[in-house]
A and B are shown apart, each in its own frame.
Chain A
Amino acid sequence: MTIAAAFLQSALDPAGPQSAHIAALWWLLFWISAAVFVLVIGFLGAAILRRGARETSERQLTFGVSVAVAVTVVVLFAILGATMFAERANATLGASSAVTIELTGHQFWWEVQYDAGRPADRVTTANEIHIPVGRPVVLKVTSRDVIHSFWAPNLHGKRDLIPGYTTAIWLQADRPQVFRAQCAEFCGRQHAHMAMQIVAEPEDAFERWLDAERAPAREPADDGARRGRDVFMKRQCVLCHQIRGTSASGLVGPELTHIASRGTLAAGTLPNTMGHLGGWVVNPQALKPGSQMPGNPLTSDELQSLLAYMESLK
């Protein structure tokens, strides 16, 4: 079984240049460490088992210890060199055609914005990033509340999302795949359920997705969905969520303009199906206790309509 199949996310299954450099560095350090471990434990075992069999002069001991210390220093310098090499390689990703994504952490979800030349072309979405395969991506990260950390192990190491600071991290995916990213800095009660999908896809698919995301929400096509939109606008949903193209413009929770096109709900907590969405809307505290979303005591009719509307937001 391959690592990709066995693990949802893994630093040892690199899919980009950065993670590949780091994985190579890991294997180098692993083998060095294994050799050092075997040598030290070997000498320790011999030291005990020989029980002072032959007299060893202090001079011989000094010679042995000096050699060991010298080897240690050389190995440590080698590790330092390998580190600097990997660091340098990771810092020099071609930047000319990079996709710029602004990533903002919230308790407990991710706000995503794609930069564009004109403000009107900016794309805002949540809890899912699409990136073109083979093209560098720069993530400009910050946080609106506490410290979070962005980590997609198959692509690169972590970068903290710190309120008051904006920093940039570069990555690139070399194969089309849906990767998982997870918050890696303890951020409160639902730190465990703060993940997202990173969809790496071919350039044209990515552009199509971006265009679709840029568009405002579709008008509901049938009565059920229209009733659902009314439910959304009259209930507390509208206070926190945004649906572009409607009057819903809350900025507290994830924006929902194209919610139906996303793979997961509640920041990677649940698969995006009608059933899960229904459960989530009615009682999010049962599925993600401590999340900021309150429960919504809707009638069955209201819920069905709302779900129909949500399903139409492709």
Chain B
Amino acid sequence: MSDPDRALPPVLEDPAALQATWSDPPGIVGWIQTVDHKRIAIRYLVTAFAMFLCGGVLAALMRLQLSRPENTLFGPDFYNQLFTTHGTNMMFLFAVPVTQALGIYFVPLMVGSRNIAFPRLVAYSYWLYLGGCLMLWVPFLLNTGPDVGWFSYTPLAEILYTPTKRADVWAQMITFTEVAGLAVAVAIVTTALKLRAPGMSLNRMPIFVWGMVVQSLMIIFAMPAVMLASTALILDRLVNTHFFDVERGGDALLWQHLFWFFGHPEVYIIFIPGTALVSTIVTTFSRRHVYGYLAIVMSLVSTGFIGFGLWVHHMFATGLPKLGESFFTAASIIVAIPTGVQFFCWIATLWSGRTSMKAPLVWVLGFFWVFLIGGLTGVMLASVPLDLQVHDTYFVVAHLHYVLIGGTVFPLFGAFYYWWPKLTGRMMSERLGGASFACFFVGFNLTFFPMHVLGLHGMPRRVYTYPPDAGWTTMNGLELVGVALMTLGVVLFIVDAWASLRRGVVASDDPWLSGTLEWATTSPPPAYNFLHSPTVGGREPLWDNPPDQPIVVGLRTDVRDVLVTHVMDAEPDHRSEFPQPSYWPLLTALSTAALFVGSIFTAWAVVTCALPLFVSMTGWFWPKAKGETGTQVWPIEHRTLPMPTEPPSGRAA
């Protein structure tokens, strides 16, 4: 299909030309306009980490309040805001965005692309995510934070029982973050399926990319349910509809079905990237291809499917028919199988590999311990009779933290240590990494393990205080010690990161001798990601590619050309010119934010704010001059050129 009449561009790309084409305008203009997936991802990472710290402070305050019975440090009003904001923050503003941030940064690099698909949409998503953060935290600081739980059950969240704006704040924060999450999900799925380097057929796609694809597809199916629910809630509150209003024909349980249809998949949305990170790190530090690639990928995909059939196990105590319950029990037990398969494959990989015990792997070993306990208690919760005892007690608090911190935060810290050199060009300290891990790991278990016991001995969740004779005092006191240790662990991590940025050892392109494509470029990567668009000859291209692995030629360097390939086999399809930096994503996000915030106060905001939204969207999608842009079918030629062994000297200036 190549066109003999068309002259091919020069074979060897000129780094200066690529840099000129792909870099942002200098200064604040470029900072606002950027559509570079790496800059946006770092923004996401920094914001999400800040949210992690803020949420952690709230958690510490809660533990402080509960460290003594009948403590008068905080009243119920503030305490309810504390746990609502903590839960909402960690689920919506930390756990999902931080994994998506890693996806935004590394999926394009791992598949060998020059940028993420729909980069303006991704830029827009960040501004909306930031809006969601402000939407939660500004009201909290003004003492009007949401106080009806991160699950916002009706009728408690209805206007009759929560007459203030607190439930509206929660509902619109949901809308902000879910729009952002959906936008990123779409971009990641498209990047993984259409922008892979030639040769990277689906069965060679890195497991982390698989994890992000499964996560993104789950987001696309799950998040509309919660947006629907939160919109119905705000309609109930704002314009007197009766979706959840029992007195006037609404249904209190409808909310729970809608919320948990999202809320349970949310758990998998959060930890599937975590397990995919584990696969990545285990592979690198075992020095071998992961054992059971197919089994692991199928486990991720099947978890994604089964995850949608479990939501009712959050509602066993509502008194559903036994037959219905047993279906959800079976599904909740079955979902343990794919996770078990992954565990066994990782152990087999470590068993047969030559492990090198570096900080990322140490954090992953912490994951094994913690997540295993969370998984085992998860199977217990699937059992209806036992669930009826421990549901809504501290047992569940323990379980969910073992699952979410185990499944996401431990792998995430591992990933920070693993990818830090790529992100910053500098190494972190192995010693501080080990110390940070030790504090966090011991502190975590000290904080959360006793909660299992507390729950079995009758301590319910979401209580701001408890009687002195309940027998819960000692364990709650012990947990405060654990919190102090966890805090120390996080502080050590921050110190390590700070010291590394200031005077860390300069990292090579591939300091861990990893096999995936993000390590085939400089640390940190240039604006255009790869000097030569790579092709791949195996699952771990840096391990498997022969010395004469071809590279892609035929992409223009004077415009933002990106190679688009076929879904299954990543055969070159066409090239597409990607958008330039632009103000429109920010302006569109501002109009969207005005609409969301305004609709807390009046339904007319939807009408009036539609106008600026229309204008900014029109600007965003204004047709470009003919021939300047758009998707073009263009011949792509493979050239057999040796992959450069040394980093090109034209590293991003």
| Residues of chain A whose beta carbon lies under 8 Å from any beta carbon of chain B | 3, 6-12, 18-19, 21-22, 25-26, 29, 33, 36-37, 40-41, 43-44, 46-48, 50-52, 55-56, 58, 61, 64-65, 68-69, 72-73, 76, 79-80, 82-84, 86-87, 90-91, 107, 145-147, 149, 151, 153, 156-160, 162-165, 167-169, 180, 182-192, 289-290
Query: Would A73 and B153 count as touching, CB distance under 8 A?
Result: no
Partner of B458, one of A8, A51, A289: A8
With A10-B456, A192-B465 known to touch, is A37 a contact of B76 (CB < 8 Å)?
A: no
With A3-B457, A69-B344, A80-B330 known to touch, is A11 a contact of B252 (CB < 8 Å)?
A: no
A-B contact pairs, 26 of them (CB 8 A): A9-B458, A25-B386, A33-B377, A40-B347, A40-B372, A44-B365, A47-B355, A52-B351, A52-B353, A56-B352, A65-B348, A68-B340, A82-B383, A86-B383, A86-B386, A87-B322, A146-B161, A147-B153, A147-B155, A151-B392, A153-B457, A158-B389, A182-B458, A186-B153, A192-B466, A289-B77
Contact-size category for B: 35 or more
Partner of B317, one of A44, A55, A160: A160
A67 to chain B, nearest CB (A): 9
Query: Would B291 and A61 count as touching, CB distance under 8 A?
Result: yes
| Residues of chain B whose beta carbon lies under 8 Å from any beta carbon of chain A | 75-77, 80, 147-149, 153, 155-156, 161, 246, 251-253, 291-292, 295, 317-319, 322, 326, 329-330, 333-334, 336-337, 340-341, 343-345, 347-348, 350-355, 357, 365, 368-369, 372-373, 376-377, 379-380, 382-393, 456-458, 460-467, 469-472
Query: A8–B384 Cα gap in the complex (Å)?
Result: 24
With A76-B337, A157-B387 known to touch, is A8 a contact of B471 (CB < 8 Å)?
A: yes
Query: A132–B460 Cα gap in the complex (Å)?
Result: 27
Name which residue of chain A comes closest to B330, CB basis.
Answer: A80
With A36-B376, A47-B347 known to touch, is A186 a contact of B352 (CB < 8 Å)?
A: no
Name which residue of chain A comes closest to B147, CB basis.
Answer: A189
Known: A7-B471, A83-B386. 14 other contacts (CB 8 A): A19-B389, A25-B386, A33-B380, A40-B343, A64-B351, A72-B336, A76-B379, A164-B251, A167-B319, A183-B460, A185-B317, A186-B153, A191-B463, A192-B464
Query: A95–B27 Cα gap in the complex (Å)?
Result: 77
Query: Would B392 and A185 count as touching, CB distance under 8 A?
Result: yes
Partner of A290, one of B77, B337, B462: B77
Most chain B C-beta atoms within 10 Å of own C-beta, residue among A61, A158, A167, A290: A158
Query: A73–B339 Cα gap in the complex (Å)?
Result: 12
Query: A216–B593 Cα gap in the complex (Å)?
Result: 61
Number of A-B contacts (CB under 8 A): 241
B5 to chain A, nearest CB (A): 51
A65 to chain B, nearest CB (A): 4
Query: Would B376 and A33 count as touching, CB distance under 8 A?
Result: yes
With A21-B385, A83-B329 known to touch, is A158 a contact of B391 (CB < 8 Å)?
A: yes
Query: A46–B347 Cα gap in the complex (Å)?
Result: 9
By secondary structure, the B interface counts as helix
B247 to chain A, nearest CB (A): 8
Query: Would B319 and A165 count as touching, CB distance under 8 A?
Result: yes
Given the complex, which residues of B lie within 8 Å of A82, measured CB to CB?
A: 383
Partner of A48, one of B246, B365, B393, B466: B365
Query: Would A6 and B471 count as touching, CB distance under 8 A?
Result: yes
Query: Would A162 and B252 count as touching, CB distance under 8 A?
Result: yes
Query: Would B155 and A146 count as touching, CB distance under 8 A?
Result: yes
Partner of B351, one of A12, A47, A90, A290: A47
Query: A26–B379 Cα gap in the complex (Å)?
Result: 11
Given the complex, which residues of A lie within 8 Å of B75, measured CB to CB?
A: 289
Query: Would B470 and A8 count as touching, CB distance under 8 A?
Result: yes
Query: Would A76 and B336 count as touching, CB distance under 8 A?
Result: yes
Query: A52–B329 Cα gap in the complex (Å)?
Result: 40
Given the complex, which residues of B lie within 8 Å of A157, measured CB to CB?
A: 317, 385-389, 391
Query: Would A289 and B391 count as touching, CB distance under 8 A?
Result: no
Query: A192–B392 Cα gap in the complex (Å)?
Result: 13
Given the complex, which residues of B lie within 8 Å of A11, measured CB to CB?
A: 389-390, 456-458
Given the complex, which residues of B lie within 8 Å of A107, measured CB to CB?
A: 161
B249 to chain A, nearest CB (A): 9
Given the complex, which residues of B lie within 8 Å of A191, measured CB to CB?
A: 76, 460, 462-463
A20 to chain B, nearest CB (A): 11
Partner of B161, one of A8, A50, A145: A145
A63 to chain B, nearest CB (A): 10
